[in-house]
Chain A
Amino acid sequence: MRDGVTSQVASRLRRWCGGWRLTALVWLAFGAVPAWLAAQPSVLGLPGERVPIVVLDPGHGGDDVGVRGPSGLLEKDITLQIATEAARLIEELLGLRAVLTRTDDSTVSLEARAARGNQTGGDLFISIHIGGSFTPTRREFQTYYFEDPRGWPSPKRTETRGRVRPVRGGAGQVGVDLQPQVVLWEEAQVEFLDASQTLARLLYSNLRAQFAEEGRGVFGLPLLGLRWIRMPAVLVEFGSLSDPTFAAQLHDEAYVQRAALGIAQAVNDFQALQR
Chain B
Amino acid sequence: MRQHGERWFGRTDGSVQGWVLVVILLTIVGGAFWLWIGSSWRDGTARSPTVREDSLPPGEEISVWFASPQEDALVSEQRRIPPGAMPIDRAKAALQALSAGPQGEAVRTLPAEAKVRELFIDGQGTAYVDFTEALSRNHPGGSWSEMLTIRSIMQTLAANVPQIKHVQILIEGREADTLAGHIDIRRPFATTWAGDQ
Contacts and interface: CB of A to CB of B under 8 A. Distances in A.
B143 A224 contact: no
A242 interface: yes
A133 B196 contact: no
B73 to A, nearest CB: 12
B193 A134 contact: no
A249 B72 CA distance: 22
A75 B142 CA distance: 10
A64 B141 CA distance: 11
Interface string A11-29: 0000000000000000000
Interface in A53-68: 59-60, 64, 66-67
A129 B143 contact: yes
A66 B145 CA distance: 12
Interface string A182-218: 0000000000000000000000000000000000110
Contacts of B143: 129, 131, 142, 144, 221, 223, 235, 237
Contact of B142 (A129, A148, A217, A227): A129
A170 B180 CA distance: 26
Most B C-beta atoms less than 10 A away, residue of A66, A131, A242 = A131
Interface in B152-192: 177-178, 180-184, 186-190
B142 A240 contact: yes
A137 B109 CA distance: 13
Contacts of A223: 143, 182-184
A133 B147 contact: no
B187 A150 contact: yes
A224 B190 contact: no
Contact of A134 (B145, B180, B186, B188): B145
Interface string A132-163: 11110101001010001110000000000000
Nearest to A65: B141
A133 B149 CA distance: 10
Interface in B100-135: 107-109, 111
A111 B140 CA distance: 22
B195 interface: yes
A73 interface: no
Chain B interface mostly: loop
Contacts of A95: none
A224 B72 contact: no
A110 interface: yes
A222 interface: yes
Interface string A215-255: 01101111111010000000101001010000000000000
Contacts of A132: 140-142, 145, 180
B70 interface: yes
A130 interface: yes
A237 B107 contact: no
Interface of B: 69-72, 107-109, 111, 140-145, 147, 177-178, 180-184, 186-190, 193, 195-196
Given A150-B188, A224-B178, 5 more contacts: A64-B181, A129-B142, A132-B145, A135-B108, A224-B184
23 contacts: A60-B181, A64-B181, A66-B181, A67-B141, A110-B181, A130-B142, A132-B145, A133-B71, A133-B144, A133-B145, A134-B108, A134-B111, A137-B107, A144-B143, A149-B189, A150-B190, A216-B72, A216-B144, A219-B196, A221-B183, A225-B181, A235-B143, A240-B144
